[in-house]
């Protein structure tokens, strides 16, 4: 397994891009700031842009010093080459994204 990390900003950006076929086994968003922050998560097919058609979680509020976990209960997300998980937040430098994945 491998780990990818990203600092989440107000601009939609990659938290993880699949290289080959991969399986995402864990994704978390941790709010390390002193304020509550909203976040969005997009699962984006290769060649597409993040938007309303591929938003997986919209405007989830993560309270200060808390973490929101996805794919933690034996759920998996299968991605093809070039597919990505993209994230944005309501504030810069407040949320860290951690993705665990493995090649399949």
pLDDT band at 1 (very low <50, low <70, confident <90, very high): confident
> What percentage of the chain carries pLDDT values higher than 90?
92
Tell me the pLDDT tens digit for each residue of 27-59.
999 999 999 999 999 999 999 999 999 999 999
Tell whether the torsion through CA atoms of 37, 10, 44 and 100 is positive or negative: negative
The residue among 1, 58, 3 whose CA lies nearest residue 28 is: 3
CA–CA separation, 22 and 1 (whole Å): 10
Instruction: Determine whether 11 is exposed, middle or buried from the number of CB atoms within 10 Å of its CB (0-12, 13-18, 19+).
Output: exposed
Q: pTM value?
A: 0.93
């Amino acid at each position: 397994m491998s780990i990818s990390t990203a600092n989440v900003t107000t601009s939609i950006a990659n938290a993880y891009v699949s290289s080959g076929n991969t399986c995402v086994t864990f994704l978390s968003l941790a709010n390390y700031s002193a304020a509550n922050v909203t976040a969005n998560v997009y699962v984006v097919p290769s060649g597409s842009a993040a938007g309303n058609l591929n938003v997986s979680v919209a405007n989830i509020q993560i309270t200060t010093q808390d973490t929101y976990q996805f794919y933690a209960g034996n759920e998996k997300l299968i991605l093809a080459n070039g597919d990505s998980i993209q994230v944005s937040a309501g504030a810069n430098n407040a949320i860290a994204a951690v993705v665990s994945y493995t090649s399949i």
